[in-house]
Amino acid sequence: MNKVKLLLIPLIVTVLVISQFVMVAAASSLDEADSISGTLYSITPITDTSTGVTIYELTVIDDMGTHQTVRVSQETAYGLGLLDYDVDGNLAAIPPEFWPDSISIPLSDAIPTEEEVHHPVGNALATFFSNIPGVDYDVIMTAHEDGYGFGVIAQALWLTQKMEGDTDILAAILEAKKTGDFSAFTLEDGTIPTNWGQFRKAIMNGDKKNNLGVVMSNKGKDNGNAGNHGNDNNNGNQDKNKDKGNNGNNGSNGNNPDKGNNGNNGNSPNKDNNGKNKP
């Protein structure tokens, strides 16, 4: 009985050692799986014709001689030292003779092949007008694919926001723009607009800061104001009329700091505040 126990002890120790070795090996494999490392074999730019966005497909030969392909953004490729600015100021892949000897690409930076690369303008519009019910990137890009330019879509979104509408209002505005028929909209005075310019002028009510440039620069973004971004013509002038309650004679008071005496202060350095000659 004792011999059996003694034989079991070395066996248990052996199993524990093997188990620990397997766990360490597995952990190492997981660490290695967090990135793709090896020698760069090729850099292939891929430009989406509908969005104009360029990503880069990198092929790497690992230590086992296996070719592995991963797609990364332009920013990631630049950060890896694989892109540089050309004579025109555009980013382009560097020549093979300048490629690094080895490269390691974190899988967290990889772009899944099935992932859609968002158009920067469509994405900006979706973010800026996210307060409009139902508006998202897909809605905007669907309108763009239907033939509407981003400038027109931006104007339609401003109008929709001003009208506190939703995607149905947006669709109606875009349809009216395309057909020239604005009978679906009745203005406050009971009339129906006859053209796009009249419709925009009536709805926006003088607010001229409602173009695509404002969206792209992200200026005046206050989506809760229903389109009235930066429309207060008196902003910036509110401090100009401070301290003007002294009947207009302030400024002649160089010899008297008391500026509240009916405008007669400082008219003569020889008189006191009541106009009497000083002794």
Per-residue pLDDT tens digits for 122-145: 888 999 999 999 999 999 999 999
| pLDDT top residue among 59 and 9 | 59
| Secondary structure E strands in the chain | 35-47, 54-61, 67-73, 83-85, 91-93, 103-106
Average per-residue pLDDT in the chain?
Answer: 74
Q: Which of 199, 211, 150 is nearest to 172 (CA)?
A: 199
Which pTM was predicted?
0.43
Mean per-residue pLDDT for 215-240? 48
* pLDDT at position 275 over 70: no
Given this model, what pLDDT does residue 212 score? 82
Q: Residue 131 contacts by C-beta under 8 Å, 6 or more apart in sequence?
A: 161, 223, 224
> How sure is the predictor about 244, in pLDDT bands with cuts at 50, 70 and 90?
very low
Q: Are 107 and 32 in contact (CB under 8 A)?
A: no
Distance of CA 20 to the CA centre of its chain: 48
Of the pLDDT bands very low, low, confident and very high (cuts 50, 70, 90), residue 235 is very low
For the chain, domain boundaries: 32-117, 120-225
Q: Per-residue pLDDT averaged across 96-110, rounded?
A: 92
